Amino acid sequence: MKQALLLALTLLAGSLQAAQFEVQLANEWHVWSSSELLTHPQARDIEIIDDVSYKRPMRYRAVPLSALLEGISPGDHLQAVALDGFAAELPAATLLAREGAKAWLAIEDPQHPWPPLAKGKPSAGPFYLVWTDPVASQIGPEQWPFQIARIRQLAPVEQRFPALLPAADASAEVRAGFAVYQKNCMACHRLNGAGDSEFGPDLNIPHNPTEYFSGDFLRQYIRDPQSLRRWPQGRMPGFDESILPQAELERLIAYLGHMAQRKRNTNL
């Protein structure tokens, strides 16, 4: 029994040591191993006061993400892709910012593995995008992807996925809601079959949530999913007002309601 446990721990350590993180830019593709990142010249120990995934203070060995994005400009667009299909859309300006929130790539040390996210679950490693001072730049929970495998440079969302665009004559509230959708929903969901995430259900096909949530139930569901439909396996987080102010929630719902009239790929 002890030999089997020792073998399992050895294999786990080897797996973490062999973990690789990819950065795919327009003109360059770089791959770093865990050991390379742990000894990166800019690696340092940081403390995250209110960790989104662990729900408590955490300490990490981390590298400023900007140090891995040489050649990227603030106007560029990036996407962080996790092992489970979660795909966070990230404006480069936010990742490169020198003031306000600062983005870090936390690296799990195989000699000191992180705790599991929950009982029976793996840790947030081997790589995790974390933020210091996230409130300063209104960083939401969808911008904290864990178990990420790569970051890649892509065209902006509106160019890649025209099926997500509101109508040309849409109101300013609907257009603002499209931006809220990109920040808070697109990492998990597709809409009209458009998007890169493979994590959650489509939000327009076959039915848009504005079509089956009546009254204030959609608002309640977004704020606290488990308060409306208790499901232990549910993975959607709640978006309280500190993350999604009421005005932004209303813009998001306006966008979803607008897109309910613009269904595409209805055979999906």
Residues in the chain: 268
How far is 136 from 99, CA to CA, in rounded Å? 9
Give residue 234's pLDDT: 59
The answer to whether residue 142 scores a pLDDT higher than 90 is no
Give 221's contacts (C-beta < 8 A, 6+ positions apart): 209, 213, 228, 229
- The answer to whether 144 touches 132, Cβ cutoff 8 Å, is no
Same domain, 180 and 248: yes
The answer to whether residue 4 scores a pLDDT higher than 60 is no
Same domain, 67 and 168: no
Q: Which CATH number fits the domain that encloses residue 249?
A: 2.60.40.420
Q: Which segments of the chain are extended strands (E)?
A: 20-25, 28-33, 44-48, 58-64, 77-82, 87-91, 102-107, 127-132, 148-154
Q: Where would I find the H helices in the chain?
A: 2-17, 34-38, 92-96, 157-160, 172-184, 209-212, 217-223, 225-228, 246-259
- The answer to whether 139 touches 244, Cβ cutoff 8 Å, is no
Indicate the angle between helix axes 246-259 and 172-184, nearest 10 degrees: 100
Position 219 in a domain: yes
- The answer to whether 107 touches 37, Cβ cutoff 8 Å, is yes
Tell me what the mean pLDDT of segment 89-102 comes to.
92
- CA nearest 132: which of 71, 62, 74? 62
Same domain, 42 and 136: yes
Of the residues 138, 154, 170, which one is the last residue of a structural domain?
154
Alpha carbon distance, N-terminus to C-terminus of the chain? 49
Mean pLDDT of all residues belonging to the chain:
88
Alpha-carbon torsion, ordered 152, 153, 154, 155, to 10 deg = 170
Same domain, 196 and 239: yes
pTM: 0.79
Of the residues 110, 136, 154, which one is the last residue of a structural domain?
154
Position 135 in a domain: yes
The answer to whether residue 143 scores a pLDDT higher than 70 is yes
Q: Which CATH number fits the domain that encloses residue 127?
A: 3.90.420.10
Could you tell me the two tokens for 116? Answer: 């599991």
How far is 93 from 26, CA to CA, in rounded Å? 16
5 vs 164, more confident: 164
Count of domains for the chain: 2
Q: 135: pLDDT confidence band, cut at 50, 70 and 90?
A: confident
Classify the phi-psi angles of 55: left when phi > 0, otherwise alpha if psi is within -120 to 50, otherwise beta: left
Q: Residue written as tokens 């040309």?
A: 168
Q: Which domain holds residue 239?
A: 158-259
Q: What is the pLDDT of residues 42-75, one digit of tens each?
A: 999 999 998 999 999 999 999 999 999 998 999 9
Position 265 in a domain: no
